[in-house]
């Protein structure tokens, strides 16, 4: 099957998993948005189980359609470094929707939507995600690094993490090694080749 990720992230991750096979075949995709540009779709069509998180009403409908029939649980929420309720700022480019009003001002609109907000830890506990699950993809438009830092303070250690490159403040991350870089993302693993 053709790699539908943004810049070949799935191909890089599959090469890694050939040498270090996945333990659970469980992934969590934060900011799922839909099939196009997805870091999870290729794995899900191969029988993986997924938790797909998307706060935007419009994007959530796309995720429901694109991932229908696959072994997924859809969660309509935003992920941040706190729990509660909040405002999602809707952008002209749906992939840029953010909890931050000032994120990507070039595509911002005045539209907003209320949404539920959860931490990764709360999400993982609610859906009984194993502490050493296989793949985490984070694309949450501006809060990626804060959420990632909070993950590092928890006991959860996904085997592979994909995170938006422009949000990462350092590639020297405890317990992780960078194994790949694309135009938009960095790929980290707990067990390098």
pLDDT of residue 96: 80
- SS3 of residue 138 by DSSP: strand
Contact present, 57 and 95 (Cβ < 8 Å):
no
Closest CA to 168 of 138, 193, 191: 138
Write out pLDDT tens, residues 9-62.
999 999 999 999 999 999 999 999 999 999 999 999 999 999 999 999 999 999
pLDDT of residue 87: 92
Q: Could you tell me the strand order of the sheet in which 72-75 lies?
A: 72-75, 49-53, 26-30, 135-138, 160-164, 185-189, 177-181
The per-residue pLDDT for 6 is 93
pLDDT tops 80 at residue 70: yes
Q: Which fold has domain 9-189?
A: Rossmann fold (3.40.50)
**Averaged confidence pLDDT in the chain:** 93
- The pLDDT, as a whole number, for residue 19 is 97
> For the CA atoms of 147, 136, 179, 82, what is the dihedral angle to 10 degrees?
0
Q: Output the pLDDT for position 172.
A: 86
Q: What are phi and psi of 47, to 5 degrees?
A: 100, 5
Residue closest to 43 by CA, chosen among 82, 7, 13, 75: 13
Sign for the CA dihedral angle at 98, 103, 106, 111 comes to positive
| Proportion of the chain above pLDDT 90, given as a percent | 79
What's the token pair of residue 156? Answer: 């959860």
C-beta of residue 43 within 8 angstroms of C-beta of residue 20? no
Q: pTM score > 0.85 for this model?
A: yes
Q: Is 62 helix (H, G, I), strand (E, B) or coil?
A: helix
If you count them, how many residues does the chain have?
193
Alpha carbon distance 40, 97 (integer Å): 19
Question: Considering only 17-31, 101-115, 124-138, which range has the smallest mean pLDDT?
Answer: 101-115
Domain layout of the chain by residue ranges = 9-189
End-to-end Cα spacing for the chain: 25
């Amino acid at each position: 099957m053709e790699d539908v990720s943004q810049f070949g992230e799935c191909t890089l991750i599959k090469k890694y998993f050939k040498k270090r096979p996945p333990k659970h075949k469980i992934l969590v995709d934060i900011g799922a948005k839909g099939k196009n540009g997805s870091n999870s779709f290729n794995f899900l069509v191969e029988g993986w189980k997924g938790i797909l998180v998307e706060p935007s009403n419009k994007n959530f409908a796309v995720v429901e359609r694109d991932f229908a029939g696959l072994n997924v649980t859809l969660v309509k929420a935003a992920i941040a470094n706190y729990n509660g309720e909040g405002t999602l700022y809707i952008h002209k480019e749906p992939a840029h929707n953010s909890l931050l009003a000032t994120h990507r001002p070039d595509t911002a609109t005045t539209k907003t939507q209320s949404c539920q907000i959860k931490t990764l830890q709360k999400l993982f506990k609610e859906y009984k995600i194993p502490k050493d699950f296989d793949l985490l993809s984070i694309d949450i438009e501006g809060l990626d690094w804060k959420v990632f830092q909070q993950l590092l303070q928890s006991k959860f250690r996904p085997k592979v993490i994909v995170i938006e490159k422009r949000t990462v403040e350092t590639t020297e991350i405890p317990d992780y090694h960078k194994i790949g870089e694309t135009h938009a993302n960095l790929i980290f693993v707990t067990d390098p080749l």
